[in-house]
Amino acid sequence: MSDPAARIGKLVVVGVGLIGGSFALALKEAGRVGRVVGVGRSRENLDAAIELGVIDEAIGDAAQAVRDADLVLIATPVGQMPEVMAHIAPALGRSTVVTDGGSTKQDVIAYARRFLGAHFERFVPAHPIAGTERSGAAAAFPGLYRDRNVILAPQPETSASALALVRSAWQACGAQIVELDAKRHDEIFAAVSHLPHVVAFALVSMLAKRDDAATLLGFSGGGLRDTVRIAGSSPEMWRDICIANRDALITLLDDYVQELERARGAIQSGDGNALEGMFERARTARRRWLLKEPR
CB of 91 or CB of 129, closer to a copy of itself: 129
Interaction of residue 156 with a copy of itself, rule CB under 8 A = no
How many angstroms separate the CA atoms of 74 and 59, rounded? 14
- The one-letter amino acid code at 142 reads P
Q: Which stretch binds a copy of itself (CB under 8 A): 39-47, 59-67, 82-90, 233-241?
A: 233-241
Q: Which stretch binds a copy of itself (CB under 8 A): 6-14, 43-51, 60-68, 214-222?
A: 214-222
Interaction of residue 276 with a copy of itself, rule CB under 8 A = yes
CB of 118 or CB of 291, closer to a copy of itself: 291
CB of 49 or CB of 198, closer to a copy of itself: 198
CB of 5 or CB of 267, closer to a copy of itself: 267
In a 10 Å sphere around its CB, with 0-12 CB exposed, 13-18 middle and 19+ buried, how is residue 10 labelled? buried
CB of 166 or CB of 228, closer to a copy of itself: 228
Q: What one-character-per-residue DSSP string does 137-187 give? A: GGG--GGGGTT-EEEE---TT--HHHHHHHHHHHHHTTPEEEE--HHHHHH
Across 235-263, b (16+ Cβ under 10 Å) vs e yields eebbebbbebbeebbeebbeeeeeeeeee
Q: Which stretch binds a copy of itself (CB under 8 A): 43-51, 52-60, 169-177, 239-247?
A: 239-247
> Minimum distance from CB of 95 to a copy of itself (Å)?
33
Chain centre to alpha carbon of residue 126: 9
